[in-house]
Amino acid sequence: MTTLDDLMKLPGAMAAFEFRGSGEVLEQRIAYPDRINESTLDLLAHMCAANLSIATMQARGWEKVTGMEGFYPIQEFTLIGFDWSVVVSGLQREHYKQAGKFSLPPFMGVVLANESADYEAAFGILERKEPVP
């Protein structure tokens, strides 16, 4: 069972996806293709890549200026939209970096319906420490 499949089991999960840092979707699961299609997911992934980069820049700057640690590396960025939320993470990559690997796994994301969204459960799956091969 892959992480994408686990993300799809979250309450209100509409889609789950893997994407590159540059935004391209590599793999996806879509629960309701009439609500979210591949084209939307592609745009969403590009947007999330931008947001993670900006949040990382902010965490870096904030920790430097304030001395308050605990933001970097960003574990997840979440956009709470009007009806949907999207949670994305590149945390698995950090584990690979710590293990000295140069080839990194993709970023991961999940789209949730706001009414039933369980952000903590989404973070829990995305923060699960997978073994580094």
Nearer to another protein, 8 or 133 (CB): 8
- Full 3-state SS string of 3-68: HHHHHHCCCCEEEEEEECCCCCEEEEEECCCCCCCHHHHHHHHHHHHHHHHHHHHHHHHHHHHHCC
Q: Which residues lie across from 40 on neighbouring strands?
A: none
Figure out which of the listed residues 81, 99, 101, 132 binds another protein, where binding follows CB under 8 A: 81
When asked if residue 86 is in the footprint of another protein (CB under 8 A), the reply is yes
**Of the residues 20, 28, 31, 60, which one makes contact with another protein according to CB under 8 A:** 60
Q: Which is nearer to another protein, 4 or 122 (CB)?
A: 122
Site membership for another protein, residue 80 (CB under 8 A): yes
